[in-house]
A = this chain, B = another copy of it.
Amino acid sequence: MTTREVLIFDTTLRDGEQAPGNSLSPEEKLRLARQLDALGVDIIEAGFPAASEGDYRSVRDIATEVRSPVIAALARCTERDIELAGEALSGAARGRLHVFISTSDLHMREKLRTTRDGVLAMAREAVRRARQYTDDVEFSAEDASRTDPDFLCRVVEAAIEEGATTINLPDTVGYAMPAEYAAMFRDVRERVPGSDRITLSAHCHDDLGLAVANTLAAISAGAAQVECTVNGIGERAGNAALEEIVMASRVRGAAVAFQCKVESREIYRTSQLLSYLTGVFPQPNKAIVGRNAFAHEAGIHQHGMLQNGLTYEIIRPDMVGIPHSTLVLGKHSGRHALERRCQELGYQLTGEELATLYQGFTALAERKREILDEDLLALLHESFSDAPEEFQLSHLRVVCGSVTATAEVRMTGSWTGERSARGTGDGPIAAAFAAVSEILERQLEVVSLSLRSLTPGRDSVGQVFLQAKIDGKSLTGHGASTDVVEASARALVHALNKARHADKLEASSLNSVYLWGV
């Protein structure tokens, strides 16, 4: 087999973000898009401009600011969707309009309530319209793996005739087996005139745990683009995991017979950034990016028996950029040492970012003897605030346990001087939140809250991630502290600052949950 070049189409910001619990603000999406650029993906699907004002804005911002990869925007086969996507992409160096429509009988009957001919006409019209905005048009036949093969070929042929340059054949519901999925690609390649001139693309979901296997099968059958997400996030069981596809090409290049230009040493950093932004971390045994994915984390080194890492490891941790957990800094470390360590971890900080980080660092070093890389990453991600810190927590005192929990909170904000309030609740976090809610006079509802302790020991830093509804808007926040209640309060204040920022931007709906998508 010859080794072919395969394009990596990252849809973390679109298919990944639309899954419950993964919603990101436009600022967070931009930050992630910059990291995807550093990772070296070929195409970034930045969003679905018709889905919400926030999605429109983030596609526009990413198109304007991230210049190396192609920036794609999703649209249904409607005039308005395509117009919004075209507008949002207008500032892009290279923009791609991605139109989709369902082609399976089940979807056409139950969802679109139209006929095959109706879908064929809509697909033609949409591709033609999209071509008015850009020469780079992708067409997706949603639910392709459950579509009648003859009809699929007809739709694909029509899309190519109208000027589509990439044809995506998604396994929308994660139903296909690898041999079936490969057969569909071969069938389309053999039967559809002009299919040799365009790029065929695979897009797989993991409902039966086969997303990556199906993706690799499609590549072997001629797909030259693969759609995937960081950490494999996405609707339901998620999409094919970018890191698994990329590392298959690095570890088993001869067997899979493809290569891609992703910088694998950026994989871990990208995975961590996504996890910090959403508060959702991969399970410990997630391939490539899970905490246990590398044998060196286990008790194995304790046995001192490993003469050769390859005995149980097929990937060296440094290949994907996993930092070594060495003791690096303590309370006597200076600003320079901190900056250097951050650089070693791959973070270039502005003077302002370094100043904020150093403040958090010294406060932590007062409480915690040894500052590990994990602690530093927590601080780093916290200090990258994407919203101005209009509100700050200046004092917190909580009493809890067998008694009703009560909290006294003082905050500084845009008002003159400090404000304080007392709250009660069924636990210390609820009490602190009640007090914050009273000070800010906002309706708060916590949707979920989770805590991770990073490093062993009494003085471990806890990271709290929360999802909250603030005056009806869904927002995430995170905070880190050795005190879980303080970390939770910080996370809430973080979410509140984001809500305040969102109000100002008048983004009517930052986080949309939508039904559509391939």
List chain A positions with a Cβ less than 8 A from chain B. 19-21, 106-107, 110-111, 172-175, 177-178, 180, 206-213, 216, 231-238, 241, 244, 247-248, 251-252, 255-256, 280-288, 290-295, 297-300, 302-303, 305, 307-308, 310-315, 367-368, 395-403, 405, 407-408, 425-430, 433-434, 445-453, 456-460, 462, 481-486, 488, 513-515
Please give me the residue from chain B that is nearest to A287 by CB atom.
Answer: B237
8 A–B pairs (Cβ distance < 8 Å), ordered by A:
A178-B213, A209-B248, A209-B287, A236-B285, A238-B285, A397-B399, A401-B408, A425-B458
CA distance A32 to B292 in the complex (A): 22
Contacts of A106 in B (CB 8 A): 308, 310-311
A449 contacts which of B284, B402, B453 (Cβ < 8 Å)? B453
Copies in the complex: 2
CA distance A307 to B110 in the complex (A): 6
Contacts of A175 in B (CB 8 A): 251-252, 314
CA distance A433 to B484 in the complex (A): 13
Q: Are B401 and A398 in contact (CB under 8 A)?
A: yes
CA distance A512 to B428 in the complex (A): 37
Q: A209-B232, A402-B486, A484-B484 are in contact. List 17 more A-B contacts (CB 8 A).
A: A20-B291, A21-B291, A106-B311, A177-B252, A210-B216, A210-B248, A213-B213, A236-B312, A300-B515, A397-B400, A401-B483, A425-B459, A427-B462, A427-B485, A428-B484, A430-B459, A445-B458
Q: Are A285 and B459 in contact (CB under 8 A)?
A: no
A326 to chain B minimum Cβ distance, whole angstroms, is 19
Contacts of A295 in B (CB 8 A): 235-236
A156 to chain B minimum Cβ distance, whole angstroms, is 22
Contacts of A462 in B (CB 8 A): 427, 429, 449
Q: Are B430 and A482 in contact (CB under 8 A)?
A: yes
Please give me the residue from chain B that is nearest to A308 by CB atom.
Answer: B110
Q: Are A450 and B449 in contact (CB under 8 A)?
A: no
Interface centre among A208, A256, A448, A482 (most CB of B within 10 A): A208
CA distance A10 to B87 in the complex (A): 54
Q: Are A400 and B427 in contact (CB under 8 A)?
A: no
CA distance A426 to B314 in the complex (A): 40
Q: Are B450 and A450 in contact (CB under 8 A)?
A: yes
User: Given known contacts A177-B255, A433-B458, is B447 in contact with A449 (CB within 8 Å)?
Assistant: no
CA distance A16 to B483 in the complex (A): 33
A252 to chain B minimum Cβ distance, whole angstroms, is 6
Q: Are A451 and B448 in contact (CB under 8 A)?
A: no
A281 to chain B minimum Cβ distance, whole angstroms, is 7
A207 contacts which of B234, B314, B367 (Cβ < 8 Å)? B314
Q: Are B513 and A298 in contact (CB under 8 A)?
A: yes
Contacts of A456 in B (CB 8 A): 445-448
User: Given known contacts A177-B252, A448-B453, is B232 in contact with A428 (CB within 8 Å)?
Assistant: no
Q: Are A237 and B484 in contact (CB under 8 A)?
A: no
User: Given known contacts A206-B287, A287-B209, is B453 in contact with A174 (CB within 8 Å)?
Assistant: no
CA distance A207 to B288 in the complex (A): 7
Contacts of A315 in B (CB 8 A): 207
A440 to chain B minimum Cβ distance, whole angstroms, is 16
CA distance A426 to B213 in the complex (A): 47
A401 contacts which of B174, B241, B395, B452 (Cβ < 8 Å)? B395
